[in-house]
Amino acid sequence: MSEVPNLEERAAALDAVDELGKLREQFVLDDGTVYLDGNSLGALPSSVPGRVADVVEREWGRLRIRSWTESGWWTAPERIGDRIAPIVGAAAGQIVVGDSTSVNVFKALVGAVRLSGGPDAGRDEILVDSSTFPTDGYIAESAARMTGCTLRPTAPADIPGAVGPRTAAVLVNHVDYRTGRLHDLPGITAAVRAAGALAVWDLCHSAGALPVGLDEHGVDLAVGCTYKFLNGGPGSPAYLYVAERHQAVFDSPLPGWNSHAEPFGMRPGYAPADGALRGRVGTPDILSMLALEESLKVWDGVSVAAVREKSLALTDFFLECVAAHVPAGRVASVTPEVHAERGSQVALRCDGAAAVMDELIARGVVGDFRAPDVLRFGFTPLYVGFAEVERAARVLGEVLAR
Amino acid sequence: MSEVPNLEERAAALDAVDELGKLREQFVLDDGTVYLDGNSLGALPSSVPGRVADVVEREWGRLRIRSWTESGWWTAPERIGDRIAPIVGAAAGQIVVGDSTSVNVFKALVGAVRLSGGPDAGRDEILVDSSTFPTDGYIAESAARMTGCTLRPTAPADIPGAVGPRTAAVLVNHVDYRTGRLHDLPGITAAVRAAGALAVWDLCHSAGALPVGLDEHGVDLAVGCTYKFLNGGPGSPAYLYVAERHQAVFDSPLPGWNSHAEPFGMRPGYAPADGALRGRVGTPDILSMLALEESLKVWDGVSVAAVREKSLALTDFFLECVAAHVPAGRVASVTPEVHAERGSQVALRCDGAAAVMDELIARGVVGDFRAPDVLRFGFTPLYVGFAEVERAARVLGEVLAR
């Protein structure tokens, strides 16, 4: 325990020079809690309650139907998409917000199979990240069934060797939800494209935590949620990225009236809109969507490179504090040591992890448990500080020393 | 114009005995506006702003991730479904809330084709209401394409004669969005079922305005939005009804993790949950969903039969006032005269309808325009009164007399 004062001093010194540290003021947080679950539900940005009240009381309550035009409700999905774009390295006009991640995985994956030519062109196989968050696998199975493809679960690292002339599309997570492993987006994308197939990336655990570089790396399609590192609120709408080069032929399996070229023409025949809004479906859920729009304002002037730098410093420091505070052999990190392979979370395998997490939460350190035996701690660089990291590891050590 | 005082007196007398009249106090309305667009976006119930503030500030802001269990977020889709159930004549456990209407049409229609046996059983045709709100037709085309069926647009009245051994499923609107015509749900459902096919009903323009009787009439599947006569707020989530007898074999094309039997088991293989929640997909949009839940409390103790009675009285009176106030030949109602064929709106064909509606709105009478030439007026019995109806018709007469 001799290292403890040293770690506390180190934490204080790191906080003192943290250029993102002042952003914490823009969130509703209490100093009694170390919130390390922003990778599941981001904290509330302070300006959101006022904005939501205005949407409900004035825009809905007083303007009512007029708000679809006068308050900009109708164009919110593409407008908010353009706010997300710089965070994931996309030029404007390629992202549209709406629906859940699962629904967007379906749109993207079926769209990708069709863009590849699909079974008619001899491409009848979809590869899916074998360690994926489950919903992607379930939806991929449905997409395969409905497009006449077979589904082959493949570890992300094995994808470059597995893609071939029969591959239509590949669905892979940028960061593994359980281990926090960051997969090689540039390399896998290049290999998939070289095989004539399309890659669909799930950015749920990377967007807002590290540079994604969608345009730079030639990604075809991507989806992501907005309630983790983007702090959009519980169940806030997800988004779909369709690279500009694919938009003119992107063929959505959910061609709702919001994606029509002339939605208020009320025409019996479908004609898709141009651009990203071809990925829209039905009427957008305005309350959740405008809460998200307000939340994203926190990002004004924030550098994703600085976020990544702090994220790695936070997870490095957490691993160091865990090594110092936790009795030997009680936990084992399943998160890669190497920076190039690490997202913005640390996952610790631990006997009795579910009960341990309950006790941590009771003591004010909030992470989450993922079956069967993982303690998961997410580090949101916009509002987590180094002293909190030290405290979280110290409390974990206390719980496991009992 | 000699009838005008008479109509004003009649309106006052009707308002005086209106047993639903006191419900208007539960909504945010201004007496300067006659709001006849509740069939597009329902007015704001007065208790919603406080509830939404609590969801944002306490449940998200302070409890954060704990709210998924402690604030009942996780079970909201089925809990709110059970609140909608009595309004549409369904027993509990058959409705789940989430996603847009378009997405639910896709789930329901693909699910219906599969329940019918589909092309493998010789059922390779989907009939779709030829006068449908466009999104249903677009989504039906996608559902047909992805299940190996062909799509046949059919007028609702012709469906009983058109269904046959090749029919897999039929998608039809309960009330036509443009004309306000109420279709024969019991008769069409019986004919579809007698042919061994399944009927999917779109209740967007009927739920909350008239008795639907889903269980009583043996409906197979139904969908509807919640932002019209249910006043859930802009883009509030839609719902899916799957009759209990179909739930064990209902096979969703969007099997997201929220529909898994054990969603937090994080299992690679999909196993559907029992009951209505098999229709869930991804993480529900909590802000919109809990605003809807609060909105539905207005319905506590309200009889749908009384709502229907008032709805017909309102539309009868409006037609009478239009006949008295509007210069002859300037408008023609396309809404059926017969009560059994009328929903809760009146649609008037009118030259220059778009400009006429702009002028009506400028004078405080809010309806909407539907291409190419329809003035549409919706009557929400929970908050529209007879004096307002008279005023709306009078202002319309003034505008058209210019």
Does A311 carry a binding-site annotation? no
Percentage of chain A with pLDDT > 90?
96
Which of A35, A177, A227, A379 is an active site residue?
A227
Active site residue A310: no
3-state DSSP call for residue A288? helix
Mean pLDDT of A207-217: 98
* Tokens (6 digits) for B329: 């030949």
The verdict on B289 touching A (C-beta cutoff 8 Å) is yes
Quote the Cα angle for A39-A44-A46, to 5°. 145
Q: Pick the residue of A74, A283, A384 with the most B CBs within 10 A to test the interface with B by mutation.
A: A283
Rounded to the nearest 10°, the torsion over CA B124, B126, B127, B133 is: -160
How many helices (H) and strands (E) chain B has is answered by 13, 13
| pLDDT above 50: residue A1 | no
Q: Which of A27, A133, A239, A379 is catalytic?
A: A133
A213 sits in the region (left: phi over 0; alpha: psi -120 to 50; else beta) called left
CA neighbours closer than 13 Å in the CB half-sphere of residue B202: 30
**How far is Cα B328 from Cα B322, in angstroms, rounded to an integer?**
10
Q: How far apart are CA A209 and CA A346, in angstroms?
A: 13
Peptide bond into B49 cis (omega under 30): no
In CATH, which of 3.50.50.60, 3.40.50.300, 3.40.640.10, 3.10.580.10 is domain A51-299? 3.40.640.10
Residue B366: closest CA among A70, A51, A282? A70
B227 is annotated as an active-site residue: yes
**Tokens 């109420």 identify what position?**
B182
Q: What is the pLDDT of residue B28?
A: 98
Known catalytic residue: A30? no
B42 three-state secondary structure: coil
Q: Given an 8 Å threshold on Cβ–Cβ distance, is A56 in contact with B73?
A: no
Q: Is A257 annotated as a binding residue?
A: yes
What would the mean pLDDT of B165-194 be, rounded to a whole number? 97
**What tens digit of pLDDT does each residue of B119-176 get?**
999 999 999 999 988 899 999 999 999 999 999 999 999 999 999 999 999 999 999 9
Q: Is the pLDDT of residue A2 over 60?
A: no
Select from A236, A254, A264 the Cβ nearest to the Cβ of B142. A254
Is pLDDT above 60 for B4? no
Structure tokens at A309: 């730098």
Interstrand relation of B95-97 and B150-154 (parallel, antiparallel or unpaired): unpaired
Give the integer Cα–Cα distance in Å for A365 and A376: 11
Nearest CA in chain B to A143: B253
Q: Which two tokens stand for residue A360?
A: 């941590």
Nearest CA distance, A3 vs chain B (angstrom): 32
Amino acid at residue number A333 = S
Asked if pLDDT for residue A3 goes beyond 90, the answer is no
Tokens 């443009």 found at: B178
- Is the separation of the CB atoms in B93 and B244 below 8 Å? yes
Could you tell me the residue ranges of all domains in chain A? Answer: 4-31+303-401, 51-299
Between the CA of residue B43 and those of B88, B118, B292, B298, B362, what are the distances in Å? 20, 42, 12, 12, 18
- CATH numeric code, B4-31+303-401: 3.90.1150.10
A133 is catalytic: yes
* B266 — pLDDT class (breaks 50, 70, 90): confident
* B30 shares contact with chain A (CB less than 8 Å): yes
How far is A126 from A114, CA to CA, in rounded Å? 12
Residue A5 has what pLDDT? Answer: 59
Q: How far apart are CA A92 and CA A274, in angstroms?
A: 14
Is A376 noted as a catalytic residue in this protein? Answer: yes
**How far is A53 from B54, CA to CA, in rounded Å?**
11
In this prediction, residue A178 carries a pLDDT of 92
Asked if B329 is an interface residue toward chain A (Cβ–Cβ < 8 A), one would say no
B-chain CB neighbours of A361 within 8 Å are 66
Taking residues B361-365, report their average pLDDT: 97
Q: How crowded is the C-beta side of A199, counted as CA atoms within 13 Å?
A: 28
pLDDT, tens digit (0-9, with 9 covering 90-100), for B59-101: 999 999 999 999 999 999 999 999 999 999 999 999 999 999 9
- Contact predicate A319/A346, CB 8 Å: yes
Does residue B293 contact residue B83 with C-beta atoms inside 8 Å?
A: yes
Reference A203, options A335, A291, A375, A87; nearest CA is A87
Averaged confidence pLDDT in chain A:
96
Cα-Cα-Cα-Cα torsion A126, A130, A136, A138, nearest 10 degrees, comes to: 80
- Candidates A236, A285, A357: best to mutate against B (most CBs of B within 10 A) is A285
Binding site listing of B for pyridoxal 5'-phosphate: 101-102, 133-136, 202, 205, 227, 257, 283
Report residue A236 as tokens: 């806030």
Name the token pair of A377.
Answer: 């701690």
**How big is chain B by its Cα radius of gyration, in Å?**
22
> Within 13 Å, how many C-alpha atoms sit on residue B224's CB side?
33
Kindly determine whether residue A281 and residue B137, on different chains, have CB atoms separated by under 8 Å. no
| Res B43: pLDDT | 98
Q: What is the mean pLDDT of residues A78-97?
A: 98
Of A41, A100, A270, the CB nearest to B141: A270
Q: Do B291 and A56 touch (CB under 8 A)?
A: yes
| CB atoms A37 and B284 under 8 Å | no
What pLDDT score was predicted for residue B207?
98
Contact A257 B134 (CB under 8 A): yes
Mean pLDDT for the stretch of residues A4-25: 93
Model pLDDT, residue B265: 87
Tell me the pairing of strands B221-224 and B198-202.
parallel
What is the pLDDT at residue B371? 87
Confidence (pLDDT) at B5? 59
pLDDT at B1: 47
List chain A residues with CB under 8 Å of B35.
Answer: 64
Give the helix/strand (H/E) hosting B239: strand B239-242
H or E stretch at B69: helix B67-70
Region A126-138: mean pLDDT is 93
Which of B 241-270 lie inside 8 A of A, CB atoms?
A: 252-258, 260, 264-268, 270
Largest CA distance in chain B: 75
pLDDT digits over A134-167, tens only? Answer: 899 999 999 999 999 999 999 999 999 999 999 9
Burial B133-143, CB ≥16 within 10 A → b, else e: bbbbbbbbbbb
Tell which B residues from 192 to 231 touch A, by Cβ distance under 8 Å.
225, 227
DSSP SS3 for A222: strand
In this predicted model, what pLDDT tens digit does every residue of A34-52 receive, in sequence order? 999 999 999 999 999 999 9
Beta carbons of A390 and A11 less than 8 angstroms apart? yes
Q: Nearest 5°: phi and psi at B164?
A: -165, -165
A67 interface with B at CB cutoff 8 Å: yes
User: In 3-state terms, what secondary structure has residue B200?
Assistant: strand
Question: Mean pLDDT throughout B257-268?
Answer: 91
Contact of B275 with chain A, judged by CB distance below 8 Å, is answered with no
